[in-house]
Amino acid sequence: MTFADVLQTYRERLNGYQSLKERSKAYREERITALLKSWPDLNQMDVAQISKAAGLVWAARFGKTASPSAFNNTIETFRLVSDIAVEAGARYDNPAVHIKRKKFRLKQLQLPSQSPVLGLRFWNFLLTDSVGLMDSVGFTACDCSPALSGRKSEKS
């Protein structure tokens, strides 16, 4: 029994699940595509010949380029397909159970330094408080720029 045979059974079961949403089924298909693309010989391999060592070597190679969520979901799909091989009696154990999940690493939050924040506060003051300051002193828009208002200033 080849991996392609087991994969065909998995796809039939996947499409038969009524409780799964279509997008979940499509995502599993994406993970199958990623698995077969990163391990080209897998489809033709006999499932009994897939060793724990081969799975770990593949996982180390695939884990370098895949994101943690893509890696973990691809491993889970590989486990589900391999479970069918165990269920069919083609294998005694699942080689995918030895592959560890990848941890999610959160990026360090970088807060802005005080100088840009102070600059923003200064510009905010100029834009909002300067209008109130000019009104309290007695200036109006036409006092500040008579050329823009189209008429002469009242003070002249």
Q: DSSP for 74-133?
A: HHHHHHHHHHHHHHHTS-SS-GGGGSPPPPP-PPPP-PPPHHHHHHHHHHHHHHHHHHHH
Which tens digits make up the pLDDT trace of 46-59? 999 999 999 999 99
Q: What is Dmax (Cα atoms) for the chain?
A: 102
> Is domain 3-98 in CATH 1.10.150, yes or no?
yes
**Burial class of residue 79 in the structure, from the number of CB atoms within 10 Å of its CB (0-12 exposed, 13-18 middle, 19+ buried):** middle
Q: Give domain limits for the chain.
A: 3-98, 114-149
> What is the SS3 assignment for 46?
strand
pTM > 0.75: yes or no: no
pLDDT, one tens digit per residue, over 6-44 is 999 999 999 998 999 999 999 999 999 999 999 999 989
Contact 59/101 with Cβ under 8 angstroms? no
